[in-house]
Amino acid sequence: MSMIKKYVLINIVLSFIFTGFIFVSCKEEKKVDSLDIEKQFLAQNGLDSDKSINQDLRIILEKLNSLNSKAFNKKLKLAQDYNPEDPNEILVIPYSSTRENNYSEGFSDIKNQLILLNIPSIRNFTAKNALSGEESLLPVVELIILHEIGHFILGKEGSFDENTITVSHTMMEKTQPEFITTLKKIELDADSLAIDLLKKGLKQKNNFADISNDLQLLLPGLQFQMFGNRLPDSWFLGGNQILHDPSINYPNMELRVMFMNYFLYPTEERKLQIQEYLYNRTVTPIHLQEFTPQIYQGEKDKSKWNLSD
């Protein structure tokens, strides 16, 4: 082989090696660190990382990922397991916050493929509302994540709950009906989808069945405890607090858990409970207006209550 041919061959080989080096280098530069994504998100929103239940949370996510569902085929991952280049993965971020406006136990950010879990708020919710207290922490986490999955199926962002009361309740609330608005229905829809996934899990012979079994035990106890907690408040405040919602966006948790229990096992007794509850929220307050002097009843009733212009 002539020197010229050898020189050309060497140049060709070197060019391939150099091109390959550039390609690999560029690929490495473009690789995104999932832990950095989590850190950046938390920093931008003034939140703190909370890894206190990460070991258990990873097991929960593995069980949830074993669900065989056409409605939801994405995988839930913690930051250390998350591949940001995979469009079928959702990053789950457990966090804590001292901000007054950040009370929700869970939130789904559909655009950015995120599910946020406020661990201290979940602990507080569990301690207050679960019959077995802290022992029910993980089943409550499972319920919240399923609710957020419901939001992903709907394609509508939302939180698990809104603990900050944004609608003021007064002594007049007995005469104020409480309706299920379009916004409130989104949360009920997400709940129903969560229970639908739960019921499908009961039929599957995989680890997701553990989630379903946990929630079968959790939900009846939640309903019992929540109503037990709210009844004293209603009596003390002199109104029907238990019938009213915390905001224009969210139905109260008592009603939602009643629906979830009914969706899980639709018995006639549970159906009647919901019907009575809804009647007391919507129809009864309107009937009470007829006997309430503070409510203007029209010209004919004006003299009846001795009200002046």
Residue 201 included in any domain: yes
**pLDDT tens-digit profile, the chain (309 residues):** 554 444 445 454 445 444 454 444 444 444 568 899 999 999 998 899 999 999 999 999 999 999 888 889 999 999 999 999 999 999 999 999 877 656 689 999 999 999 999 999 999 999 999 988 889 999 999 999 999 999 999 999 887 876 554 544 454 466 677 777 888 899 999 999 999 999 988 888 889 999 999 999 999 999 888 887 766 554 434 445 566 676 777 678 888 999 999 999 899 998 998 888 888 777 766 666 666 655 555 555 544 445 444
Residue 297 included in any domain: no
- 117, containing H or E segment: strand 114-118
Contact 72, 152 (CB under 8 A): yes
Residue 24 included in any domain: no
How far apart (Å, rounded) are the C-alpha atoms in residues 166 and 189?
22
Residues 6+ apart with CB under 8 A from 48: 42, 95, 96, 97, 98
How far apart (Å, rounded) are the C-alpha atoms in residues 220 and 241?
21
pTM (2 decimals)?
A: 0.77
Bridge partners (DSSP) of residue 89 are 75
How far apart (Å, rounded) are the C-alpha atoms in residues 95 and 104?
11
Helix axis angle for 182-203 and 253-264, nearest 10°, is: 40
Residue 16 included in any domain: no
What domain range is 71 assigned to?
34-289
- Count of domains forming the chain: 1
How far apart (Å, rounded) are the C-alpha atoms in residues 210 and 215?
9
Alpha carbon 287 to chain centroid, angstroms: 35
- 159, containing H or E segment: strand 158-159
Token pair 């949370």 is found at 57
Contact 211, 218 (CB under 8 A): no
How far apart (Å, rounded) are the C-alpha atoms in residues 192 and 262?
10
